[in-house]
Amino acid sequence: MAKKPTRSRAGSTRRSAAPKSRSSRSSKARKQSRGALWRWRLLQLSIIGAAVLISWMFYLNAVVRERFEGQRFTVPARVYSEAQELYAGAPVSAGQVESLLQALGYRQTGDLGQSGRYLRRGQTLSIHTRSFDFWDSPEPARRLELDFSQGSLVNMVTSAGQPVLVARLDPLFIGQIYPGSGEDRLLLPIDEVPQSLIDGLIAVEDRRFYQHWGISPVGIARALWANVTSASIAQGGSTLTQQLVKNMYLTADQTLWRKGNEALMALLMEWHYSKEQILEAYLNEIYIGQQGRRSINGFGLGAQFFFGSPLRSLNIHQQALLVGLIKGPSYYNPRRNPDQAMARRNVVLSVWREAGVITQAEYDRALASGLDISDVPGDASYPAFMDLVRRQLDQGYRRQDLLAEGLTIFTTLDPLAQNHLETVLPDGLAALETSYNLNTDTLEGAAIVTRPSTGDVLAITGGRKPELAGFNRALDARRQVGSLMKPAVYLAALEAGYTLATPVSDAPVQVASANGDLWEPRNFDRESHGSPLLVDAFSHSYNQATARLGMEVGLAEVFDVIDRLGVSERLPAVPSVMLGAVDLSPFHVAQMYQTIAGNGFYSPLNAIRAVVHPDNGVLQRFDLQVEQRFAPEQMYLVQEALHRVTLEGTARSLQWRLPQSWWLAGKTGTTDDNRDAWFAGYSSDRQAVVWVGRDGNEPTPLTGSTGALPIWADIMAGLKPNQERRGQPATVVRVPVNAQGAQVSERCDNQRVLPFLAGSEPPGRRGCSGSPDPSSDDEGGGWWQRLFN
Amino acid sequence: MATAVQLKYRGRVCPFYGRLVWVLLSVFWFSGCVSVPVDQPDDPRLSTWERKEERAGQPIETPIATRSSLVDSLQRSARERAAVGQWDQAEALLLRALRIEPQAADLYLQMAELKLRKGDTAGATQIARKGLTYAETGGDLAADLQRFVQPE
């Protein structure tokens, strides 16, 4: 075929001597031949082009269908805090609930017509709560009146005055994980979107939406005319379908290539899917705002982000603002540029009125309304806690489940406790630096708050700048724990038959290790204290007595107790471990003390309550796990010893730092050269562990008592644990003993009542000095006591 | 005019301290005029509830939920869910109650019953053992919990 023109040219050369008329015909023939040539080339090109176009269309078709019918939207796994329970008697103040409402993006206003609003008058809060689908049951939106008094919620009724037993606020969104595109949205079916918003969207963005097939020549022509007459790019001719295509599949580049693809894909989309399907996708896809790295997509999340209310409850003027934002989410951002946003909203409203979407009366009302947006929702960022959530997800869940779109992860985070911790720790460290004339920002710290009854992690901070992600000291800082390890030694001793009143020698001790090294622990004050009772050796944290006791009981037994307490780390088999010469993180310590606070029952510390798949429901949920590791009676004695630490031992300053009526139990920990200051303890159903030190492991002037304890006390003061204390086990008796551990009369001076396992109490009742002959001694403690005997 | 109190400093009146004392005395004097007693029924700082109490002149009994009645309600709901085989929801309700009353032995009993019905005998035993640490010794509750504790 390609030889045809060549033959033609050769023929004309051979006839070069022909007459003029023939020459003219020849020229004409040449022209015809050239035209045919071009037509032929054009045909060839067209065929090739058509083939390429068809192939490309096939490709685009696959792209459109795959995304639209598969995972249409990028919906990250959304992570939520624990929900605040509201009930008469709840230990929360009006201020705390208000701060939580603000973090949740509730708006303070006198008009409580929409959910997501509240009004505070003195100690009364009126709230229109939001509905929320919790993993266990849905919580409806409702109007509540809450009365507070003395730091507690005392009364809760509906707006009609009907008592309400319990309600839950919606949980705080604390972040998103997997797959990490940054897009976020709340998926809504089209029937949950107000009709006025749908009609208004079409009126503003694409009036011929129901007439065109994806592209609108009329719209393009109108936009072109408008742009030409205004000498600028004032209008776009894109249909809603084209906008959706651009958002879902393409970039925002203003190139012909992109525009061509956009048009083709719009046609394909319209060919495959109904107008309603396209509209629903648009309502969930469109980009309308930004919060840091989080992209706000779709009207559902947009309503919550800008107004703190669900989409279906928005007023006309709020809907108009959302529609107006599509044109320029950044330029018309109502928080940053309220004037532009207001102008844009009003333009939208006038379009709606002209198009008959709203009546004149509605228009007038809407025009008179303010922007009505909520404060910027709390950009809750708890990197240390999220770090823990990620690790526990990786441990307990299958990867493919976690990569599913739209997971909801309910966690145990208590926002009030977390915010309190994030305030107290930096403030406490700064106060210590001031008190001890240290350079500012040289101390570091970490803390963790848990709920002993369930093992929930309520709050965690990995450093003095809790808002920064990075080295999470609460989980990863392995530091020597010092005397925090001592409960294990004393627990082993109690299991071996010792009592709290057993005298133990505090004389200097030397222990030779297997490799011949000599371990010679010394007391903190460098003095020996004779033969204190076991409970005193513990409460005063005597190292020599503890080392002797541990060696008497047996190293293997002590290590066994450490293991049962929940320390899963591999520890060096050396006696110095008994005095805490072992590196553990604050999280490990919290796990260890959790077993003590849990009455001898091990419960793994847990940050995740449930993981919910959008289609398959609850993938996994928290199940209360308890495993008895110690006899509750033995643990009761250790708890008593820890309580004595706070009464008369190294933590006795808690008596003035916290209300004396509180039952507290805890232990200080200090390591060599004061490199680490620790305090671990609990009260009722709240436990906290605090570590203070330096990242470079340099010495500090701080001990557990002076460094970590004040911060622990401040944490507890804010948590206000309800003061419930387990009853005394039936197999435990309380017996008065003297300083030598002998049972004496309750009337003796300096006697103390200590708990014993029944049958292990010191034998008989002796004189106040422990003499076997009461008649020869000073029973009664004084002449006036004897007088009344 | 002489002030009420005159302080002498190095043999002469110290005008600064004199003025300071005068100001302080004035503040103390007038503070009584401007202070608002908290216990006023119309004090906007009080809650509606507290204002009612002030008007009544005595504490008003709370008409609705104490914590215990709330826990009772959650327990009832848990029983209803368990009766129709909704174990997870029942357990979730009991855990909500437990977070409110962490030392309620009857919650442990109900949870142990639930675990047993789910076939988790070992779990039921452990939960019951822990419940026993909160139960009154010799009481009915302790006896009920003891039924779940199997000899090891």
Report how far apart, in Å, the C-alpha atoms of A484 and of each of A193, A320, A589, A596, A638 are.
57, 61, 8, 12, 13
Which residue type occupies A67? R
DSSP conformation class of A665: E
| Contacting residues of B for A137, CB less than 8 Å apart | 89, 92
The pLDDT of residue A180 is 55
| Domain shared by A112 and A202, yes or no | no
Cβ atoms within 10 Å of A723's Cβ, excluding its own: 12
| Domain shared by A137 and A257, yes or no | no
Distance from CA of B48 to the nearest CA of A (A): 6
Contact across the interface for A726 and B65, Cβ inside 8 Å? no
Contact across the interface for B98 and A622, Cβ inside 8 Å? no
Give the helix/strand (H/E) hosting B9.
Answer: strand B8-9
* Contacts of A237 by beta carbon, 8 Å cutoff, 6+ apart: A216, A219, A220, A221, A222, A223, A224
| Domain shared by A130 and A228, yes or no | no
Residue B45 token pair: 């700082």
Quick check: pTM over 0.80?
no
Find, in chain B, the residue whose alpha carbon is nearest to that of A628. B126
The pLDDT of residue A227 is 65
CATH number of the domain encompassing residue A105: 3.30.2060.10
- Mark B80-117 as b/e (b = at least 16 C-beta within 10 Å): ebbeeebbbbbbbbbbbbbbbbbbbbbbbbbbbbbbbe
* Contacts of A476 by beta carbon, 8 Å cutoff, 6+ apart: A462, A585
Closest partner residue to B99 (CB to CB) among A454, A625, A726 is A454
User: Token match 């730092």: residue?
Assistant: A657
Write out pLDDT tens, residues A391-405. Answer: 998 887 777 777 776
Contact across the interface for B98 and A454, Cβ inside 8 Å? yes
Q: How far apart are CA A318 and CA A197, in angstroms?
A: 10
Domain final residue, candidates A368, A393, A413: A368
Mean pLDDT computed over B13-34: 53
Closest partner residue to B134 (CB to CB) among A94, A123, A726 is A726
Contact across the interface for A628 and B126, Cβ inside 8 Å? yes
| Contacting residues of B for A148, CB less than 8 Å apart | 47, 49
Q: What residues in chain A have per-residue pLDDT under 70?
A: 1-23, 70-74, 178-182, 226-227, 230-236, 252-255, 376-380, 405, 766, 769-789
Helix H segments across A440-533? 473-476, 486-495
Which residue type occupies A768? C
- Whether A754 is covered by a domain: the verdict is yes
If we measure between CA atoms, which residue out of A204, A276, A298, A287 comes closest to residue A252? A287
| Domain shared by A195 and A308, yes or no | yes
The pLDDT of residue A97 is 96
- Angle of helix A555-565 relative to helix A586-597, nearest 10 degrees, comes to 90
The pLDDT of residue A246 is 85
Mean pLDDT computed over B90-101: 92
Reported ipTM: the value is 0.77
Instruction: Report CA A418 to chain centroid distance, whole Å.
Output: 9
| Contacting residues of A for B111, CB less than 8 Å apart | 624
| Contacting residues of A for B70, CB less than 8 Å apart | 87-89, 165-166
| Domain shared by A351 and A246, yes or no | yes
Write out pLDDT tens, residues A20-54. Answer: 666 677 777 777 888 888 888 899 899 999 998 88
Contact across the interface for A166 and B70, Cβ inside 8 Å? yes
Residue contacts between A and B (CB atoms, under 8 Å): 131
**Domain with A739 in it:** 732-787
- Whether A378 is covered by a domain: the verdict is no
- Whether A739 is covered by a domain: the verdict is yes
Residue B39 token pair: 């216990």
Report yes or no: A166 and B70 within 8 Å, Cβ to Cβ. yes
Domain final residue, candidates A131, A153, A173: A173
Find, in chain B, the residue whose alpha carbon is nearest to that of A610. B92
Instruction: Report CA B36 to chain centroid distance, whole Å.
Output: 28
Closest partner residue to A685 (CB to CB) among B91, B96, B102 is B102
Q: What are the strands, taking DSSP E only, across A321-374?
A: none
- Whether A716 is covered by a domain: the verdict is no
Domain final residue, candidates A128, A154, A173: A173
Contact across the interface for B48 and A147, Cβ inside 8 Å? yes
| Start-to-end C-alpha separation, chain A | 135
- Whether A376 is covered by a domain: the verdict is no
Report yes or no: A189 and A280 within 8 Å, Cβ to Cβ. yes
- Whether A249 is covered by a domain: the verdict is yes
Report yes or no: A440 and A412 within 8 Å, Cβ to Cβ. no
- Angle of helix B87-100 relative to helix B105-117, nearest 10 degrees, comes to 160
Categorize the per-residue pLDDT at B19 as very low, low, confident or very high, splitting at 50, 70 and 90: low
Q: What is the dihedral of CA A22, A23, A28, A32, to 10 degrees?
A: 90
Report how far apart, in Å, the C-alpha atoms of A111 and of each of A317, A365, B71, B131, B133 are.
15, 15, 33, 48, 50
Give the helix/strand (H/E) hosting A614.
Answer: none
User: Best mutation site among A124, A153, A413, A621 for testing chain B: the one with the most B CBs within 10 Å?
Assistant: A124
| Domain shared by A209 and A344, yes or no | yes
| Contacting residues of B for A624, CB less than 8 Å apart | 91, 95, 98, 111, 127
Residue A50 token pair: 């058509």
- Whether A71 is covered by a domain: the verdict is no
Q: Which CATH architecture has domain B67-146?
A: Alpha Horseshoe (1.25)
| Contacting residues of A for B107, CB less than 8 Å apart | none
- Whether A167 is covered by a domain: the verdict is yes
Distance from CA of A526 to the nearest CA of B (A): 40
Q: What is the dihedral of CA A194, A195, A198, A200, to 10 degrees?
A: -100
Residue B64 confidence (pLDDT) above 50: no
| Domain shared by A236 and A166, yes or no | no
Contact across the interface for A599 and B73, Cβ inside 8 Å? no
| Domain shared by A260 and A354, yes or no | yes
The residues of A that are catalytic are 205, 483
Cβ atoms within 10 Å of A38's Cβ, excluding its own: 9
| Domain shared by A164 and A270, yes or no | no
CATH number of the domain encompassing residue A336: 1.10.3810.10
Residue B69 token pair: 């009645």
Q: How far apart are CA A5 and CA B135, in angstroms?
A: 107
| Domain shared by A134 and A204, yes or no | no
Report yes or no: A625 and A603 within 8 Å, Cβ to Cβ. yes
Residue B30 confidence (pLDDT) above 80: no
Find, in chain A, the residue whose alpha carbon is nearest to that of B105. A726
Report yes or no: A194 and A311 within 8 Å, Cβ to Cβ. yes
Give the helix/strand (H/E) hosting A203.
Answer: helix A195-205
Structural domain count of chain A: 3
Q: For the purposes of burial, counting CB atoms within 10 Å of the CB of A149, is it exposed (0-12), middle (13-18) or buried (19 or more)?
A: middle
If we measure between CA atoms, which residue out of A607, A585, A566 comes closest to residue A451? A607
Phi, psi angles (nearest 5°) of residue A649: -100, -145
| Domain shared by A354 and A226, yes or no | yes
Report how far apart, in Å, the C-alpha atoms of B21 and of each of A56, A717, B7, B11 are.
92, 38, 9, 18
Residue A266 token pair: 């719009």
| Domain shared by A196 and A291, yes or no | yes
Contact across the interface for B133 and A599, Cβ inside 8 Å? yes
Residue B18 confidence (pLDDT) above 90: no
Distance from CA of A767 to the nearest CA of B (A): 32
Write out pLDDT tens, residues A294-334. Answer: 788 899 889 988 988 888 888 999 999 999 999 999 999 99
If we measure between CA atoms, which residue out of B90, B106, B73, B103 comes closest to residue A85? B73
| Contacting residues of B for A724, CB less than 8 Å apart | 102-103
